[in-house]
Amino acid sequence: MLNKIKIDSESRLSEEQKIKDRRRNVIILIQRYLVNAGYIDSATKLGTESNLSLNQYDAADNIDLYMILCEFEQFYEMKFMKPPKLVKKVDGQNTPGLPRIPSSGKSSTTNASNSNNQNSTGSNKKSTQQSKEKDNNNKDAKNEPDSLEIQGTGVQQKQSNNEEANQKDWFDPRVLKGLPDYSDVPEFQQLAAYLQRDICSENPNVKFSDIAGLDQAKKLLKEAVLVPLKYPHFFQGILEPWKGVLLFGPPGTGKTMLAKAVATECRTTFFNVQASSVVSKWRGESEKLIRVLFDLARHYEPSTIFIDEMDSIMGQRGSAGNEHEGGRRMKTELLIQLDGLLKSKKRVFLLAASNLPWDLDIAMLRRLEKRIYIPLPDQESRESMIRRYIPQEMSENLNYPQLAEALKNYSGSDIKLVCKEAAMKPLRRLLSQIEDIQVDVRTVKQKKQQNLTSYDDVRPGPVTETDFAEAMNQVKPSPSVFENQYLKWEKESGSC
């Protein structure tokens, strides 16, 4: 008897020790994987919380968490003839603890029959009637379409929305690789963490089809970013994709919208770089930021670097007395990084936009292989924009071609402002009528006790031609350099 107690005790202690060893091994394997993948801060925090570090224990030779996962998937698929499901996507609409609402099919019928059975008096006649009703209800439920059944229309809808689903999945919280290894220069590690905030993680939700006109610009951007990712074997040697594109033109013509479309559809790591991200007051800091920015872009390839208002960073380099030494060094570093980008095989694309292309440095223009002019919208594009902002449901017999002709010198953003101002006219009239109504205080107190009236039936009136004319008188075209100067520069330095 004593021997049995001794054996049980030793066996229990041995099992507990195995559990502790497994937990320790899991933490050590996770730490080693995080370090190898570049998640240094996460590995350090895990070691601090678990009181385990790689200085005490480390993964054995030829043992890796990724390799263990691959072997498990192969074993599971070989044993059960299907791949394992290791993770699931969490739906934010699912609230834990709340009861599930039954569907309109079999579940509701079964619940109704169960309640009838509970309320029965026990007589055979009632139970027989309830069983018949239950059978009839079940037959009716079988004839009714179940909410969980796959209908043919659902499959077609899924196929038609396949592209939109892929775009949403791309902007779901995705795993980024750890930062590059800057163990030799710890200062670069902090700069990389600072620049990582410029990575676009939210879906701009702007497609190329949402942009009116600009067919040549959209074609070249797809040719530079989207198509090489789909068919990389075609873009080799002399057919390597473009590494730098400049979009120039008057303000409000759609340059930033094209960049948003690239971020939405081209499925690359998108860096939205601003001047404040790469310009620093400390000596030598700006050059380091430029270098680390391109290191991150190469690390997260395929990637796109978008720099808006490029002329504010890369203006023409004059004599030493006309610009600061720090700005000159920053421009030189940017040119060096772009030169290395053109010669490397990394899939990094630079997209720049400028309203003053003639102020850009000549060396920068050489590195921007394509320089595309984004003009003011044409007649067809203006009409398409007006129809989109003010559809026929909101208007009263508007002459869209005539309005598009009247907005000839307006940019895309100006047309949007005109449409918004015209749409505000009926709303102002409605609000004026509401404010002019005299209401007694006692009536207000009585109405508080009653249910509020729905506002769905109360809508502003339609937009008329007069509203549009008044809006055009109030909203003038934004001041810009004459279009002839853009056309002249395109003729001399453009490359589309």
What's the residue count for the chain?
496
366 and 436 part of one domain: no
Find out whether 327 is annotated in a ligand binding site: no
**pLDDT of the residue at 453:** 57
Question: Which residue did the predictor score with more confidence, 48 or 444?
Answer: 48
Question: Which residue did the predictor score with more confidence, 167 or 57?
Answer: 57
Last residue of a domain, one of 64, 80, 96: 80
**pLDDT of the residue at 181:** 76
Residue 309 has pLDDT above 80, yes or no: yes
Find out whether 154 is annotated in a ligand binding site: no
Q: Which of 63-67, 155-159, 363-367 has the lowest mean pLDDT?
A: 155-159
Residue 203 has pLDDT above 70, yes or no: yes
Domain CATH code at residue 461 = 1.10.8.60
**pLDDT of the residue at 446:** 59
**pLDDT grade, residue 417 (50/70/90)?**
very high
Domain CATH code at residue 200 = 3.40.50.300
210 and 279 part of one domain: yes
Query: SS3 for the chain, per residue?
Result: CHHHHHHHHHHHHHHHHHHHHHHHHHHHHHHHHHHHHCCHHHHHHHHHHHCCCCCCCCCCCCCCHHHHHHHHHHHHHHHHCCCCCCCCCCCCCCCCCCCCCCCCCHHHHHHHHHHHHHCCCCCHHHHHHHHHHHHHHHHHHHHCCCCCCCCHHHHHHHHHCHHHHHHHHHCCCCCCCCCCCCCCCHHHHHHHHHHHHHECCCCCCCCHHHCCCCHHHHHHHHHHHHHHHHCHHHCCHHHCCCCEEEEECCCCCCHHHHHHHHHHHCCCEEEEECHHHHCCCCCCHHHHHHHHHHHHHHHCCCEEEEECCHHHCCECCCCCCCCCHHHHHHHHHHHHHHHHHHHCCCCEEEEEEECCHHHECHHHHHHCCEEEECCCCCHHHHHHHHHHHCCHHHECCCCHHHHHHHCCCCCHHHHHHHHHHHHHHHHHHHHHHHHHCCCCHHHHHHHHCCCCCCCCCCCCCCECHHHHHHHHHHCCCCCCCCHHHHHHHHHHHCEC
**pLDDT grade, residue 47 (50/70/90)?**
confident
Residue 64 lies inside a defined structural domain of this protein: yes
The residue segments making up the domain with residue 415 are 379-493
Last residue of a domain, one of 49, 80, 111: 80
329 and 458 part of one domain: no
**pLDDT of the residue at 157:** 47
390 and 322 part of one domain: no
Find out whether 321 is annotated in a ligand binding site: no
**pLDDT of the residue at 166:** 54
312 and 434 part of one domain: no
349 and 210 part of one domain: yes
Residue 420 has pLDDT above 60, yes or no: yes
361 and 325 part of one domain: yes
| Phi, psi torsion values for 324, nearest 5 degrees | -75, 150
Q: Across the beta sheet with 269-273, what order do the strands follow? A: 269-273, 303-307, 348-354, 244-248, 370-373
Find out whether 408 is annotated in a ligand binding site: no
How far apart are the C-alpha atoms of 187 and 302, rounded to whole Å? Answer: 25
Give whichever of 98-102, 149-153, 226-230 has the largest mean pLDDT: 226-230
pLDDT digits (tens, 9 = 90+) for 244-288: 889 998 888 888 899 888 888 887 888 988 888 888 888 888 888
If you average pLDDT over residues 216-224, what whole number do you get? 86
**pLDDT of the residue at 164:** 53
pLDDT digits (tens, 9 = 90+) for 347-362: 888 999 998 888 888 8
Q: How many CB atoms lie within 10 A of CB 82?
A: 8
Nearest Cα residue to 374 out of 350, 389, 357: 357
Domain tally, the chain: 3
pLDDT digits (tens, 9 = 90+) for 91-132: 655 544 444 545 444 444 444 444 444 444 444 444 444 554
Last residue of a domain, one of 58, 80, 102: 80
If you average pLDDT over residues 196-206, what whole number do you get? 81
Give whichever of 38-47, 87-96, 463-472, 477-486 has the largest mean pLDDT: 463-472
**pLDDT of the residue at 460:** 80
284 and 330 part of one domain: yes
Q: pTM value? A: 0.67
Residue 145 lies inside a defined structural domain of this protein: no
347 and 385 part of one domain: no
Find out whether 219 is annotated in a ligand binding site: no
Give whichever of 152-161, 163-172, 323-332, 370-379 has the largest mean pLDDT: 370-379
317 and 439 part of one domain: no
Find out whether 251 is annotated in a ligand binding site: yes
